[in-house]
Amino acid sequence: MDPVRRIMKETQRLLSEPSPGISAKPDETNFRYFHVIIEGPYQSPYEGGVFHLELFVPDEYPMVPPKARFLTKIYHPNIDKVGRICLNILKKQWVPTLQIRTLLISIQALLAAPNPEDPLDPQVAKHWKENEPEALKTAREWTLKYAIDN
């Protein structure tokens, strides 16, 4: 299947069968660029938060993974200050059989299970490892401040 057709097919499925807590809509001017919203997972410090991301599908897709980045500020050891995400399937573990949907579900799962052993933000990871209750409290405060529309 050619990449454009595959992207269109995946987009159609994302719109008609959205995953719980995830919304991904293509930009009106560029079908490769998606506006993504991920709801913070239940019983995580991100619960109740609405996190905006951007996702771009490169020309080489599906041989290379999409690029994804948080636009909403988030306190997380695997997400840096500019929103880049440390996730194995965004890098070496990507295989062409994976889809945009799989990637988004994996990002949502990363919110539920931060991994300070493989950090992108070393300061947050250090905080997480040295005082997890305090780090969770900070993550919750950031969620309330940046990811909840008041």
The active-site residue out of 24, 68, 85, 86 is 86
The answer to whether 63 touches 6, Cβ cutoff 8 Å, is: no
> The whole model's pTM is what?
0.95
> In this structure, what are the phi and psi dihedrals at residue 145, rounded to the nearest 5 degrees?
-75, -40
64 pLDDT tier (thresholds 50, 70, 90): very high
In terms of C-beta density within 10 A (0-12 exposed, 13-18 middle, 19 or more buried), how is residue 98 classed? Answer: middle
Q: Is residue 86 flagged as an active site residue? A: yes
Per DSSP, the residues of 55-113 read: EE--TTTTSSPPEEEE-S---BTTB-TT-BB--GGGTTT--TT--HHHHHHHHHHHHHS
Other C-beta atoms lying within 10 Å of the C-beta of residue 37: 16
Q: Could you give the percent of the chain with pLDDT greater than 90?
A: 95
Q: What are the pLDDT digits (tens) for 15-44? A: 999 999 999 999 999 999 999 999 999 999
Look at residue 150 and tell me whether its pLDDT is greater than 60.
no
State the pLDDT at residue 122. 96
- Yes or no: domain 3-146 corresponds to CATH 1.20.1440.130: no
